[in-house]
Structure 1
Amino acid sequence: MIRLKLNPLTESATLLRRVGVVLGSVGLTALYSLLILLRALYGRLHRQIVDQYCREWSAALLRLVRASLTVRGHVPDFGDGRRYIIMCTHASHYDIPASFVSLPGSIRMLAKKELFKIPLLGQAMQAAEFPSVDRSNRERAVKDLEHARAMMESGIVLWAAPEGTRSPDGKLLPFKKGCFHLALDTEAVIVPVAIRGIHQVLPARSWQINLGQPVDVRVGQPLETAGKTKAELEEVMAEVRLRLEELLGDGEAE
């Protein structure tokens, strides 16, 4: 078990503090986006520096809300040459920073195309090898997933939220099939990750921020998909859901 203390003191943020967190988060995101774009402009951007920037940005965001992170479970060796896809619960915008801080490897989020339309951030994500998926266009989505597969084969660990949207109460929502198709297509190892308490930091569809919230990142037993066929898609989805539900339960991941 790894415990990362970030000055915990649980309290509901005042309006002034909420404004400070929002402005600080926007400023940090703009700063690191600009750093990535400047390095890309001068041909000095490489995967390792993107990894470093992602973790620095994530740690700074978590410090703004004084989150107290605990990491439980065995984290796989993402550098063993196999393809990996992290399938994570999704109950807050802070799921991604918590994952970047807690897990090793060149992690990149499988992102919605709408994020790439955000000025500065969208261009930085593209330069930093964040794959996108256009869910509104089936033909385009297939091409996007093929591109994501190529990135995985080059050593990138994909982060995906099988629920597709944020859960308002931390409970699992119905799964989408896209990331499971990708896992089977690439014979990837699925690493289930559940983040408990994260929905209370910034509840979905609200501006309420809780400072010093304890957050528990739980890494489950990896699921091999090598040799599995599309006929077993539903079985794989059910197994991942079961493992995430167990991680979200009262017992601690070993």
Structure 2
Amino acid sequence: MALLSGATLAAAAFLLLVILYHVSNVFRYFVKFTLFLILSLVFATAFIPLMIFRPMDYRNALLPAWGARQISKLLGLRWEMRGLENAVQDSGCVVLINHQSAIDLLVLAELWPKLHRCTVISKKEIFYLWPFGLAAWLWGTIFIDRLNVEKARSTVASTASIIQNRKAKLCMFPEGTRNSGPTLLPFKKGAFHVAIASQTPIQPVVVSRYYFLDSRKKIFNSGDSIISILPPIPTKGLTKDDLEGLIEETHAVMAKEYASITEEAMSRHALANKKCD
């Protein structure tokens, strides 16, 4: 009888959670982000025993990236990738992506196996957050000391050599902070310094606005997003004197594409909802 009562209570509690998930935006928001964070950590570190045999190798990240794509499915997120024919093939490059949320990690998981030889820059404190820091080092993350300006500049400068010698694709978020607004924020200069120093192209990648995610209103629904890989912008022959012009050119093409694919994604969403009604 006691077992029956326990099972009944458990079933009732589960049913209540299911109902809350479907009727409460706030509850669903926190459930989804909790799942995202926990599973991201699990998939990032679970493959360490396999990754340890080839340290600092970008291919190590293909395993966590596979796991992250399973997270997208679980969260009800679908990514449509366009412009793969524009991807830089014969050299390294600086990949610039608009930054909207922590779930941009799932965008990187889509790009990693498509662009090849990808890597990222992270503050050195992340390295000490083991086991995640160890995993990040194993898949080739470049760690910099942001509190030490001179050392950080030196590290970023040496990154130019890594891009050239390894034909690496350095993924960076030029806005410098998360932005879920209708337009892109002004771009920081760091990524452009690296691109000019390495004399390799900038590969703009634009992701449509996450209409399904709103951190202020605590909304996290299922949804679709478009990932658009734009033609590379050459930097060969450019110097520091060309920095501002390069930033303006890159921002202009990315802002235009952001507005276009965001309008398309939101129109498709509105049409789908209309059909359901």
TM-score by length of 1: 0.81
Distance 1:78 1:53 in 2: 23
Q: Tell me by how many angstroms 1:173 deviates.
A: 1.2
Distance 1:85 1:54 in 2: 22
**Helix, strand or coil: the match of 2:159?**
helix
- Whether 2:98 is the aligned partner of 1:85: answer no
Distance 2:79 2:23 in 1: 18
Distance 2:129 2:95 in 1: 25
Q: Which amino acid aligns with 2:232?
A: P
Q: Tell me by how many angstroms 1:63 deviates.
A: 1.7
Larger % of helix: which? 2
Q: Tell me by how many angstroms 1:166 deviates.
A: 0.5
CA contact (8 A) 2:119 2:168 kept: yes
Alignment of 1:7-86 (within 5 A): 14-41=25-52, 43-45=53-55, 47=57, 49-80=59-90, 82-86=91-95
Residue 194 of structure 2, aligned match among 179, 182, 200: 182
**Helix, strand or coil: the match of 1:223?**
coil
Cα distance change on mapping 1:210 and 1:18 into 2, 3 Å = closer
Cα distance change on mapping 1:113 and 1:171 into 2, 3 Å = farther
Alignment of 1:145-184 (within 5 A): 145-152=156-163, 153-184=165-196
Distance 1:53 1:13 in 2: 34
CA contact (8 A) 1:92 1:203 kept: no
Alignment partner, residue 100 of structure 1: 109
Q: Tell me by how many angstroms 1:231 deviates.
A: 0.5
Cα distance change on mapping 1:157 and 1:13 into 2, 3 Å = farther
**Helix, strand or coil: the match of 1:135?**
coil
Distance 1:228 1:119 in 2: 40
Distance 1:203 1:119 in 2: 30
TM-score by length of 2: 0.75
Long gaps (5+) in structure 2: 1-21, 265-277
Cα distance change on mapping 1:210 and 1:178 into 2, 3 Å = same
CA contact (8 A) 1:201 1:211 kept: yes
Distance 1:47 1:209 in 2: 37
Alignment partner, residue 232 of structure 2: 222
CA contact (8 A) 1:13 1:211 kept: no
* Larger Rg belongs to: 2
RMSD: 2.8
Distance 2:195 2:258 in 1: 22
CA contact (8 A) 2:95 2:171 kept: yes
Count of matched residue pairs: 239
Q: Tell me by how many angstroms 1:91 deviates.
A: 1.2
CA contact (8 A) 1:24 1:64 kept: no
Residue 244 of structure 1, aligned match among 238, 248, 254: 254
CA contact (8 A) 2:99 2:175 kept: yes
